[in-house]
């Protein structure tokens, strides 16, 4: 599994899942998966920074 094109919701490798979710910037509107890369989730929505 290459980490460059996998969707977070389809990843089963715990280490890869942790790496993809580190410093998350987007969340999937469909399943709630979090990722630092919008291409890693099906329906990305930007995570708003806490103010």
- For the chain, what are the domain ranges? 8-46
Rounded average pLDDT over 18-32? 87
Distance (Å, whole) CA 15 – CA 43: 22
SS3 state of residue 44: strand
Evaluate if residue 29 carries a pLDDT over 90.
yes
The proportion of the chain whose per-residue pLDDT surpasses 90, expressed as a percent, equals 22
For range 18-27, the mean pLDDT:
85
Query: Is residue 1 scored above 50 in pLDDT?
Result: no
Where residue 50 falls (left for φ over 0; alpha for ψ -120 to 50; beta otherwise) is beta
Q: What is the number of alpha carbons within 13 Å of residue 17 lying toward its C-beta?
A: 8
Cα atoms in the 13 Å half-sphere on the side-chain side of 28: 17
């Amino acid at each position: 599994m290459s980490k460059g094109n996998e969707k977070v919701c389809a990843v089963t490798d715990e280490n890869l899942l942790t790496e993809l979710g580190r410093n998350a910037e987007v969340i999937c509107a469909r399943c709630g998966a979090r990722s630092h890369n919008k291409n890693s989730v099906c329906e990305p929505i930007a995570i708003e920074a806490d103010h």
